[in-house]
């Protein structure tokens, strides 16, 4: 009674992992993006009471959080295009690779969304009182958004290899 590794790798449930990867890429990035949008919206609302003409500047954290969601959408679509049925040659190795890609993009996006939310809340409130803080806020926002971009790049590499 030997364990046949090659048969085991061609498991019928391999696509499950691929689809879970695509789903988790979208779900977790949207969790992060939603938190980022809501948290920075609190700051925007309290600042918009005093300086409504600064709305163009203060909405930037919300845009950045939305871009995190777009990362998840892109990765989920790419992964979904690669998952096929197990009979069409989709083995467990591919399934695990796609699950890893989805989780990488999703959890990196979750972290980046959290960062954008907190930075956006504090930064927008600060910009209302000291406009020179704007450049600093944008830099911090870009750095926290790049964290999500790293996750998307790794996810695309994992998903296409």
Partner 1 sequence: MTTSSSSEPSTMATLFPNFRDQEVQSAVKNLLTYSLVILIVPLASMFLLKQFFFEGLLGVSANDALTYSAIIAVVLVHVVLGIWLFAATKQEDRKKRENKQD
- Contact set with partner 1 (CB under 8 A): 52-57, 59-60, 63-64, 66-67, 70-71, 74-75, 77-78, 81-82, 131, 134, 138, 149, 152, 156, 160
Cβ 55 to partner 1, closest distance in Å? 5
Maximum CA extent, the chain: 76
Angstrom distance (rounded) from CA 130 to CA 5? 64
Angstrom distance (rounded) from CA 61 to CA 41? 9
Angstrom distance (rounded) from CA 128 to CA 7? 63
The DSSP annotation for 20-42 comes to HHHHHHHHHHHHHHHHHHHHHHH
Cβ proximity to partner 1, 1 vs 49, nearer residue: 49
Cβ 53 to partner 1, closest distance in Å? 5
Angstrom distance (rounded) from CA 22 to CA 120? 28
Cβ proximity to partner 1, 11 vs 149, nearer residue: 149
Cβ 74 to partner 1, closest distance in Å? 4
Cβ proximity to partner 1, 4 vs 53, nearer residue: 53
Cβ proximity to partner 1, 67 vs 99, nearer residue: 67
Cβ 102 to partner 1, closest distance in Å? 14
Please state at what angle helix 60-82 crosses helix 92-129, rounded to 10 degrees.
170
Give the gyration radius of the chain's Cα atoms: 20
Cβ 96 to partner 1, closest distance in Å? 18
Cβ proximity to partner 1, 8 vs 129, nearer residue: 129
């Amino acid at each position: 009674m030997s364990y046949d590794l090659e048969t085991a790798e061609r498991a019928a449930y391999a696509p499950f992992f691929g689809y879970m990867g695509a789903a988790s890429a979208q779900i977790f990035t949207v969790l992060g993006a939603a938190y980022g949008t809501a948290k920075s919206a609190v700051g925007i609302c309290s600042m918009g009471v005093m300086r409504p003409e600064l709305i163009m500047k203060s909405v930037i954290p919300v845009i950045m959080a939305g871009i995190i969601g777009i990362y998840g959408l892109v990765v989920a679509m790419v992964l979904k295009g690669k998952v096929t049925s197990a009979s069409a040659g989709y083995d467990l190795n591919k399934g695990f690779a796609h699950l890893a890609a989805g989780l990488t993009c999703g959890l990196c996006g979750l972290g980046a969304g959290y960062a954008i939310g907190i930075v956006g809340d504090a930064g927008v409130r600060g910009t209302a009182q000291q406009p020179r803080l704007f450049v600093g806020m944008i830099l911090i926002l870009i750095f926290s958004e790049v964290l999500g971009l790293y996750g998307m790049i790794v996810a695309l590499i994992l998903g296409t290899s």
